[in-house]
């Protein structure tokens, strides 16, 4: 991404030059879905799409923020409770306000600044556009305020902004990926300790993201409901998180009547997915792309049948991908209910795979506008 247009827009909006730029990437999760808020494991990498913010300090305690993708500039004061947008057209800036509010609540001396942002992470598509905005915003506010905060803490603050201010009860996956990703690597994320262990993709395979064009609103979706079901399951099983449950334990609880059939299905996905994610990391270490692809396929099946967060478009995209040459595995990525799939494809086949997947999906779902692209693993957020 080039900062020239951003600098021009900043100058036009604020009649001054930016003092600097920050960036934060979106992410794709290779496997480990709906495990983060169960203290489990994920295997994400950052993608080559990001939010970028031009910033400059101000002498007062006011924040002004504009966006290349939105009309108008939103202005708010850094005192007391920062009010959310009343006009729907200004709701995008709530992520920025939420980050400022959370930083202040955490005791940081946030100073006034002018911010202008741009981004090419598609919104509501499961690639963490909101986490990229939160993490980039925190970096920009820190830069303008002379603050230094470590990447893990920035991720936690971004998650808190999303949980408390925006109102989505998300886990740590998205913000920690955006904040701490390692260029050229996927990462095993332990959502209990927040430890990240990087490993490169096996040689000769590429990651292909396919956007179904179906959008979901995370706040409005069944996301919070799924999380509540997992927490209820853990409580019924006498553990703090499903991370601490085995398949055998689940079976015993079902025999004893502790878990009903629906709760058991949700828990089974989480327990199996944690096992698959650790196994997938071992595949990365061993360079075994075929076994990794099989685990991705299994993950999708459970997300469809047991966790029930797929939809016709995601299932259709995955089904088409699996018929194409060079595809080793394909699954939905992110929260589900719409958004993107991720496929593991032999690098030589990837361009033809991407073109044919898009063509066939358009035929199967004529009302949708898909987008398919190959991505490398980008670096985590930072100042430019
Ligand atoms: C969304 C949430 C994450 C995670 C995924 C599902 O992306 O923001 O915290 O729960 O869904 O794995």
**Atom from ligand 1 closest to the CA of residue 173:** 9
The CATH number that domain 4-191 falls under is 3.30.230.10
Q: Tell me the pLDDT tens digit for each residue of 90-139.
A: 999 999 999 999 999 999 999 999 999 999 999 888 899 999 999 999 99
Going through the chain in order, the beta strands assigned E by DSSP cover 20-29, 41-42, 44-57, 62-67, 74-77, 113-119, 186-190, 195-199, 205-211, 327-333, 340-346, 371-375, 382-383
pLDDT of the residue at 217 = 60
Q: What percent of the chain has pLDDT over 90?
A: 92
Q: Where are the domains of the chain?
A: 4-191, 196-375
Q: Of residues 39, 94, 114, 174, which has the active-site annotation? A: 174
pLDDT of the residue at 168 = 85
Q: Contact 67/89 with Cβ under 8 angstroms? A: no
CB atoms near residue 176 (< 10 Å): 29
Contacts of 66 (CB under 8 A, 6+ apart): 9, 10, 13, 14, 72, 73, 74, 115, 116, 117
**How far is ligand 1, taken at its centre, from the CA of residue 173, in Å?**
6
- Residue 63's SS3 state is strand
174 is catalytic: yes
Whether ligand 1 lies within 6 angstroms of the CB of 124 is answered as: no
Q: Is 190 left (phi over 0), alpha (psi -120 to 50) or beta?
A: beta
Q: What is the largest CA-CA distance in the chain?
A: 69
pLDDT of the residue at 220 = 60
pLDDT of the residue at 218 = 54
pLDDT of the residue at 49 = 97
Round to whole Å and give the CA distance between 126 and 123.
8
**How far is ligand 1, taken at its centre, from the CA of residue 378, in Å?**
19
Whether ligand 1 lies within 6 angstroms of the CB of 30 is answered as: no
**Atom from ligand 1 closest to the CA of residue 32:** 12
Closest C-alpha to 184, from 174, 172, 197, 198: 198
Residue with CA closest to ligand 1 atom 8: 170
Among 44, 173, 177, 266, say which to mutate for ligand 1: greatest number of ligand atoms within 8 Å of CB: 173
Contacts of 87 (CB under 8 A, 6+ apart): none
Give 190's DSSP letter: E
**How far is ligand 1, taken at its centre, from the CA of residue 23, in Å?**
21
Look up residue 148 and give its two tokens. 């230094």
Look up residue 200 and give its two tokens. 């490169």
Question: In degrees, to the nearest 5, what angle opens at C-alpha 25 toward C-alphas 24 and 29?
Answer: 140
Residues of the chain with pLDDT under 70: 217-220
Question: First CA to last CA across the chain, in angstroms?
Answer: 12
Round to whole Å and give the CA distance between 152 and 112.
24
Contacts of 35 (CB under 8 A, 6+ apart): 41, 42, 191, 243, 270, 273, 274, 277
**How far is ligand 1, taken at its centre, from the CA of residue 334, in Å?**
5
Q: What phi and psi values does residue 147 have, to the nearest 5 degrees?
A: -105, 145
Fold of 196-375: Alpha-Beta Plaits (3.30.70)
Whether ligand 1 lies within 6 angstroms of the CB of 39 is answered as: no
């Amino acid at each position: 991404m080039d900062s020239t247009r951003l600098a021009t827009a900043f100058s036009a909006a604020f009649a001054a030059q930016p003092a600097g730029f920050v960036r934060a990437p979106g992410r794709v999760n290779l496997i480990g879905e709906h495990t983060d808020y169960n203290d489990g494991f994920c295997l994400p990498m950052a993608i080559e799409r990001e939010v970028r913010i031009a910033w400059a300090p101000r002498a007062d305690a006011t924040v002004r923020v504009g966006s290349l993708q939105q009309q108008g500039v939103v202005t708010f004061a850094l005192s007391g409770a920062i009010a959310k947008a009343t006009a729907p057209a200004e709701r995008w800036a709530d992520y920025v306000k939420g980050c400022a509010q959370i930083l202040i609540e955490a005791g940081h001396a946030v100073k006034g600044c002018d911010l202008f942002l741009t981004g090419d992470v598609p919104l509501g598509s499961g690639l963490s556009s909101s986490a990229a905005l939160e993490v980039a915003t925190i970096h920009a506010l820190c830069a303008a305020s002379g603050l230094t905060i470590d990447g893990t803490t920035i991720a936690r603050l971004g998650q808190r902004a999303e949980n408390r201010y925006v109102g989505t009860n998300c886990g740590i996956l998205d913000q920690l990926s955006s904040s701490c990703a390692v260029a050229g690597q996927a990462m095993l994320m332990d959502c209990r300790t927040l430890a990240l262990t990087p490993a490169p993709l096996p040689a000769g395979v590429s990651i292909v993201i396919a956007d179904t064009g179906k959008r979901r609103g995370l706040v409005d979706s069944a996301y919070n409901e799924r999380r509540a079901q997992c927490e209820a399951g853990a409580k019924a099983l006498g553990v703090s998180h499903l991370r601490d449950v085995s398949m055998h334990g689940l079976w015993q609880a079902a025999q004893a009547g502790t878990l009903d059939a629906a709760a058991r299905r949700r828990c089974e996905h989480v327990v199996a997915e944690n096992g698959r994610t650790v196994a997938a990391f071992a595949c990365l270490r061993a360079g075994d792309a075929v076994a990794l692809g099989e685990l991705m396929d299994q993950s999708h099946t459970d997300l469809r049948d047991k966790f029930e967060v797929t939809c016709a478009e995601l299932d259709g995209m995955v089904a088409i991908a699996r018929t194409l040459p060079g595809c080793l595995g394909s699954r939905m990525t992110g929260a589900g209910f719409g958004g993107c799939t991720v496929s593991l494809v032999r690098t030589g086949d990837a361009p033809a795979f991407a073109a044919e997947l898009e063509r066939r999906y358009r035929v199967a779902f004529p009302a949708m506008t898909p987008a398919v692209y190959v991505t490398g693993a980008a670096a985590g957020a930072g100042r430019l």
